[in-house]
Amino acid sequence: MASLNYLWQNRLQSRRFSAPFFKSWAKRLLTFPELLKSNRRRTALIRKGATIAPTAEIGLVVINGKKDNLVIGDFSTLGRVEIALHDKVTIGNNVCINDGVIILSASHDVLDPLWRHKKAPITIGDYAWIATNAILLPGVKIGKGAVVGAGAVVSKDVNEYAIVTGNPAKEINKKRTESLNYNPCEFLATNNAWLK
């Protein structure tokens, strides 16, 4: 969840002792344990070298490799995600990465007789949405506002505002709107109790 300080400063303000006041405080009390766990995960990653914005949401992630290869921007949310940090993984602002996503910044070269390890950075642009169970392979760049469909396997760059699906991922005829202005973190139940 977003940092406690940020959430407190931007909490929902209600008239004291009104129905919304009691509802928001009940939600805060019920979600507080999860909020603490999330902040502990964030703090642990930052201590190991990751750069994570205080407004980013970190779910139950499994992150292997050098933590200083990880950069996560403002208001981005990661669900139950696996990330292999053999190389830099940069996640922009307002990015939504759903449960089951796997981000691999390294693999083996199947054309190499010695089957050597090859690695390459991954970049995910602002407002991108990586849907459930998608896999991002080494060296891909996901453009601003792009959508990677559920279960897609991305081995090549995805253009800005493009929608890709399938294995291997291919662009479909539809494009996403270019006037994006939302915060994916606001949709999370825990933050609904805190944010305006």
Catalytic positions: 108
- Asked if residues 55 and 3 have their Cβ atoms less than 8 Å apart, the reply is yes
Cα Rg, the chain, nearest whole Å: 18
CA contacts within 13 A on the Cβ side of 179 = 0
Can you tell me which residue has the tokens 């509802």? Answer: 23
**DSSP H/E element including 162:** strand 162-165
Distance between CA atoms of residues 105 and 83, nearest Å: 8
Residue 16: which residues within 8 A CB-CB, separation 6 or more?
A: none
